[in-house]
Amino acid sequence: MRFGVLGQLAVWTRAGSPVRVPEAKVRALLAALLAHDGGPVSADRLIADLWRERPPANAANTLQTKVSQLRRVLGRDAVTHEPAGYRLHPAEVDADTFAELTRQAAASADPRTRAGLLADALALWRGPAYADFADAEFTMAARTRLEEHRLTALEELARTRLELGEHARLADELGPLTREHPLRERLRATHLRALYLAGRQHEALAAYEDLRHRLAEDLGVDPGPELTALHQAMLTQDPALTPVRRGGNLPAPLTGLIGRTEARQRVRELLGETRLLTLTGPGGVGKTSLALAAAGELAAPDGVWLVELAGHTGSLAATVAAVLGIREESGDPARRLTEAVRGRNLVLLLDNCEHVIEQAAELTAALLRAAPGLRVLATSREPLRLPGEIRHEVPPLALPDAISLFTARVEASGGVLDDPAAVSAICARLDGLPLALELAATRVRALGVRLLAERLDDRFRLLANGSRGVPARQRTLWAVIDWSWDLLTEPERLVLRRLSVHADGATLAAAEAICAQDGLDVLDALTGLVDRSLLLALPGPRYRLLESIAAYARTRLAEHGEQPEIRQRFLAHYTELAEQAELRGPDQRDWLTRLDAESANLRAALDLAEEPTATRLGTALAWHWFLRGRYRDAHTATTGSWRAAFALLTDDPGTDKSTVDSPLATWFLAWAHLHLGQTAAAEALLTEHPGDRWLTAATLVARAKLAGFRGELAATEAAGRDSLALFTELGDDWGRLQAMDVLAYAAEVTGDYPAAAELHAAGLRIAQDLRLWTDVSYRLSGLGRIALLTGEPERAADLHRRARDRAVEQANPFAETFATVGLGLGARRQGELDTAERLLSAALAWNRGLAQPYYGAPLLLAELGFLAEIRGDRAQALALHREGHAIAERLADPRAIALALEGLAGASADPAEGARLLGEATALRAATGTPLPVAEGQDVSRIERRLRAELGARYEAEFSAGGTRRSPR
């Protein structure tokens, strides 16, 4: 976890996502621990900090509750207890990062490096330290100390910028700061120097007089020696006050560069390997900011010089010469420039070359040939394409860094960030483009982040209010992209606007099919768009537009009247792709991967489709959706038996489940019924398919599952083995996985736990390889169940927790409940009865809420019934076991029936009837070949011991009598 105290208290994951710390006292506890800089804090100190003079009645227990709540948010090991008290173990605190950056700045002899480090450090401040605990006594010392460090860093940055020649800007910028802190002599001295160097000597002398009066009135002292000497030097206009100009003209940074630490280092490294480095990337990605930050850390005897080309017209050589201070004379400016730089050792930063790319390339080549000591760092939306050039693509910010930048800019403008999910959505939808994020940040004060996120579909109107002082082409999001559009060829514009119909990138084949036009070389246009940073080329190859560029291109597509035709091409291409997919057989993995990559495009095609194409596409995608656990998508888009099956899997009571159509769809409907344990409905749909080997294998595995529900283990094993063999011949790994599952079930029921574990482990490897995450969850639960049965409770709990996490990720309540039941079983066997009851009751409540009964209900009812019996609540135990028995009889599941009978035996008030019920359960298990495994017999053994003690010699007779009867109760 990362912690923020430089502003309101904040917590982020390592990935940068905000973490919500609920409840005011828990937040106060975290603040108190952070305010002690990682040292231990006694319980008494924390109680005093949190409740002051009004502690709760049982303060120690209440504090322990708050610590437990904090651990649930941060992780158990984040807060430890030792003899001296509680200690927080933060991975990273922004105050520590601030201190380290200022330490590095103090150690640096280079003023540009120092300025960059100090700007980065100050960018970490999101407001006053511990802003939401400004009135808390326990943060006072930390707040005072941190504020002093902040002001010291501001003073040092101002002095460094003065050293870099930024006196004109500082003269204005330091005015408000000195009014806020009028008695800080070091700050006032820097302001006086800046005013004097900016030619504002009268204001500088007046400011000195103001300070002298304030010091005398407020503190009764005179200005210190430094200020007195400075005042005298200004009065005499001492030449020593005017520094010699350093080589170079880079501006000092006004804000820190967020999220580019590694990129800066990489740029410096590359400029050590090459004399020409071009930073490319889409408009607004921050090429100039990165180049300036990296260039500011370079050393060159003759300086580092920025040449801004965005508004350039005329001779490029003359522009560069003017920047370098080369005297203007008659003749060829390019020749004069090359002669002037021939023996010099310097760095040129050519910024925004794209609109003068030919001139820039020609001049750069000439300068590099003439001056061996010259290095060129260029920024452009396309490379210069010169020998020896290294192109370094500047990517958008990763989401954590995008959130940090957006947060910093919003808080700097006084906005409120009250919805972490909306902040994350804004940063993701704006592709991590720094310019777009900064434009969006200006809207937060008026709209708030939630409404801003909702309005991003109209981003070009929304993000049209940029900062003053930037070029017009950077003041709106539309203008940024429009600048690039104007530089494209007509074929590139055509391909760009037609590509925009894609929801998430396109393969080369898709681009050629959808963008085709007579005489057009689509690949050539794609190459041009990639070179101009308007199109991302991903492995595959796959071509993807950033969301903002795609939105711009869709507007252009509509303007050209091409939208209806291109949408039809898009729909035809992806319908054909879905129908070609071979998801049953040896190419299953490859096709799953391919359809996964096209998931968003297929969804978009389905949204466009009308009948009968919509049904064609939905049917073609049904199996893919099933394998990926996207049941609701499939339920919405399919018809007939497919729709009926997915209605069962999504617990939709309103869909007709009687429709029957293709053999595959009919089999799948049977499989869905089996998923819920509805054996009769499934059996009615299962038929033989001698001409279709895949359906034959699938029917075998379904019959194996059906036999398992009925306790016919020999049939389960036989059909399961035959199915596994046939699926193996067909190369269908999903089918192998299902066959292994039923065979593992049979092995578990018969007590062959090593075989069951081996089968579950093999199935887990298949599921992971195919990325079938719901099946991964079930296999983990299966392994957890075996671990529980073999006496490994800790491993069982770990496996079930991992299974539940996977199921939650997939939004699959069936798999989640299956894992939760495993955790409940483990908790009961460990004697954690309250935890077991909570977990099992939650699972039962979910089960009872289903439109269709789920076969897991009898186990839940039995477990809760045993819990009630152990606690002495016989009435509750009887009610639960009777309900479980009724459901088990309806499902015709002999193991579940036997379990319910065993539960009723324990809850019965009549010992003789209890013995008869045990006898009946034992006979049923023997008749179906499902004897009670030793590892599962704790409850039955306990009940049997009690009944033997109560009945004495009568027990055997009553037990035997029960074994001869069989009737529902």
Domain CATH code at residue 180? 1.25.40.10
Among 181, 375, 401, residue whose Cα is nearest residue 285:
401
Q: How far apart are CA 575 and CA 569, in angstroms?
A: 10
pLDDT at 852: 66
932-955 pLDDT tens trace:
877 778 899 999 999 999 999 999
Q: Which two tokens stand for residue 60?
A: 């120690």
pLDDT at 968: 43
Report, as an integer, the average pLDDT of 716-733.
96
The Cβ-side half-sphere exposure at 376, using a 13 Å CA radius, reads 31
277 membership: H or E segment, kind and range: strand 276-280
pLDDT at 969: 43
Work out the pLDDT band at 39, boundaries 50, 70, 90: confident
Distances (CA, A) of 531 to 396, 492, 757: 16, 11, 53
pLDDT at 756: 96
- Note whether residue 569 is domain-resident: yes
Distances (CA, A) of 895 to 12, 531, 886: 49, 66, 13
Q: Is the pLDDT of residue 331 over 70?
A: no
Q: Which two tokens stand for residue 901?
A: 């009978």
Boundaries of domain holding 421: 399-481
- Note whether residue 969 is domain-resident: yes
The Cβ-side half-sphere exposure at 161, using a 13 Å CA radius, reads 27
Contact 930, 711 (CB under 8 A): yes
pLDDT at 654: 55
444 and 517 share one domain: no
Work out the pLDDT band at 340, boundaries 50, 70, 90: confident
Query: Which neighbouring-strand residues pair with 374?
Result: 346
Radius of gyration for the chain, computed over Cα atoms and rounded to the nearest angstrom: 37
Peptide bond into 282 cis (omega under 30): no
The domain total for the chain is: 6
Q: Helix axis angle, 24-35 relative to 43-51, nearest 10°?
A: 130
- Note whether residue 595 is domain-resident: yes
Report, as an integer, the average pLDDT of 562-578.
95
Surface-to-core class of residue 351, CB atoms within 10 Å of its CB (0-12 exposed, 13-18 middle, 19+ buried): buried
28 and 139 share one domain: yes
Q: How far apart are CA 432 and CA 749, in angstroms?
A: 53
Residues 6+ apart with CB under 8 A from 542: 505, 506, 507, 597
Q: Is the pLDDT of residue 837 over 70?
A: yes
CA 321 to chain centroid, in Å, comes to: 48
Contact 608, 571 (CB under 8 A): yes
Q: Is the pLDDT of residue 20 over 90?
A: no
Report, as an integer, the average pLDDT of 581-586.
92
Report, as an integer, the average pLDDT of 313-324.
84
Query: Which neighbouring-strand residues pair with 85?
Result: 82
Dihedral (Cα; 879, 880, 882, 887), 10-degree rounding: 140
153 and 176 share one domain: no
**Mean of per-residue pLDDT scores for the chain:** 88
- Write the DSSP string, 454-500: HTGGGHHHHS----TTS-GGGSSHHHHHHHHHTTS-HHHHHHHHHHT
10 and 134 share one domain: yes
Q: How far apart are CA 102 and CA 120, in angstroms?
A: 9
pLDDT at 470: 55
The counts of H helices and E strands in the chain are 47, 13
Contact 946, 910 (CB under 8 A): no
User: Length of the chain in residues, anyone?
Assistant: 969
Work out the pLDDT band at 415, boundaries 50, 70, 90: confident
The Cβ-side half-sphere exposure at 190, using a 13 Å CA radius, reads 29
Among 157, 158, 152, 184, residue whose Cα is nearest residue 172:
158
Query: Which neighbouring-strand residues pair with 3?
Result: 11, 93
479-532 pLDDT tens trace:
888 888 988 999 999 999 999 999 999 999 999 999 988 889 999 999 999 998
Distances (CA, A) of 717 to 261, 382, 748: 60, 64, 12
Q: How far apart are CA 887 and CA 676, in angstroms?
A: 12
Residues 6+ apart with CB under 8 A from 257: 116, 119, 120, 123, 264, 286, 289, 290, 293
CATH number at residue 595: 1.10.10.10
Contact 557, 500 (CB under 8 A): yes
Last residue of a domain, one of 446, 481, 516: 481
63 and 141 share one domain: yes
Contact 318, 304 (CB under 8 A): no
Window from 79-88, 735-744, 904-913 with minimum mean pLDDT: 79-88
28 and 144 share one domain: yes
Residues 6+ apart with CB under 8 A from 81: 67, 87
415 and 381 share one domain: no
Last residue of a domain, one of 112, 129, 164: 164
Report, as an integer, the average pLDDT of 118-136.
90
Higher pLDDT, 643 or 210: 210
Query: Which neighbouring-strand residues pair with 349?
Result: 306, 377
φ/ψ (deg, to 5) at 347: -120, 130
pLDDT at 660: 46
Among 857, 865, 967, residue whose Cα is nearest residue 923:
967
Work out the pLDDT band at 328, boundaries 50, 70, 90: low
380 membership: H or E segment, kind and range: strand 374-380
Contact 733, 582 (CB under 8 A): no
> At which residue do the structure tokens 């309250």 appear?
834
Task: For residue 140, count other CB atoms closer than 10 A to its CB.
Answer: 14
Peptide bond into 223 cis (omega under 30): no
β-strand pairing of 346-351 with 374-380: parallel
265-310 pLDDT tens trace:
899 889 888 999 999 999 889 999 999 999 888 878 788 899 988 7
Q: How far apart are CA 337 and CA 326, in angstroms?
A: 8
> At which residue do the structure tokens 């997919």 appear?
581
Window from 584-598, 657-671, 695-709 with minimum mean pLDDT: 657-671
> At which residue do the structure tokens 């070029």 appear?
471
Q: How far apart are CA 40 and CA 28, in angstroms?
A: 16
pLDDT at 566: 95
The Cβ-side half-sphere exposure at 135, using a 13 Å CA radius, reads 1
Q: How far apart are CA 657 and CA 641, in angstroms?
A: 7
Q: How far apart are CA 793 and CA 886, in angstroms?
A: 31
CA 251 to chain centroid, in Å, comes to: 36
> At which residue do the structure tokens 């049982």 appear?
58
Give the percent of the chain with pLDDT over 90.
Answer: 46
- Note whether residue 94 is domain-resident: yes
CATH number at residue 346: 3.40.50.300
Q: Is the pLDDT of residue 327 over 70?
A: no
503 and 375 share one domain: no
Report, as an integer, the average pLDDT of 801-811.
91
Q: How far apart are CA 930 and CA 745, in angstroms?
A: 12
- Note whether residue 282 is domain-resident: yes
Pure H helices in 219-356: 225-236, 261-271, 287-295, 316-324, 333-341
Work out the pLDDT band at 719, boundaries 50, 70, 90: very high
Q: How far apart are CA 859 and CA 880, in angstroms?
A: 10
Window from 232-246, 295-309, 337-351, 391-405 with minimum mean pLDDT: 232-246
- Note whether residue 963 is domain-resident: yes
Written as one letter, the residue type at 209 is E
Longest dimension (CA), the chain: 126
52-81 pLDDT tens trace:
878 887 888 888 888 888 888 888 788 888
Last residue of a domain, one of 393, 421, 453: 393
Distances (CA, A) of 16 to 10, 129, 688, 854: 11, 20, 55, 40
Residue 691: left if φ>0, alpha if ψ -120 to 50, beta else—which one?
alpha
Question: Model-level pTM greater than 0.85?
Answer: no
Q: How far apart are CA 184 and CA 22, in angstroms?
A: 40
412 and 538 share one domain: no
33 and 153 share one domain: yes
pLDDT at 695: 94
Pure H helices in 790-873: 793-809, 813-829, 833-848, 857-870
- Note whether residue 837 is domain-resident: no
899-930 pLDDT tens trace:
999 999 999 999 999 999 999 999 998 888 77
Among 197, 194, 199, residue whose Cα is nearest residue 172:
194
Q: How far apart are CA 400 and CA 708, in angstroms?
A: 49
Work out the pLDDT band at 245, boundaries 50, 70, 90: very low
23 and 158 share one domain: yes
CA torsion through residues 454, 455, 457, 459, sign = negative
pLDDT at 657: 46
The Cβ-side half-sphere exposure at 456, using a 13 Å CA radius, reads 24
pLDDT at 350: 94
Contact 194, 177 (CB under 8 A): no
- Note whether residue 862 is domain-resident: yes
322 and 413 share one domain: no
Contact 543, 505 (CB under 8 A): yes
pLDDT at 816: 92
507 membership: H or E segment, kind and range: strand 506-507
862 by DSSP, 3-state: which?
Answer: helix
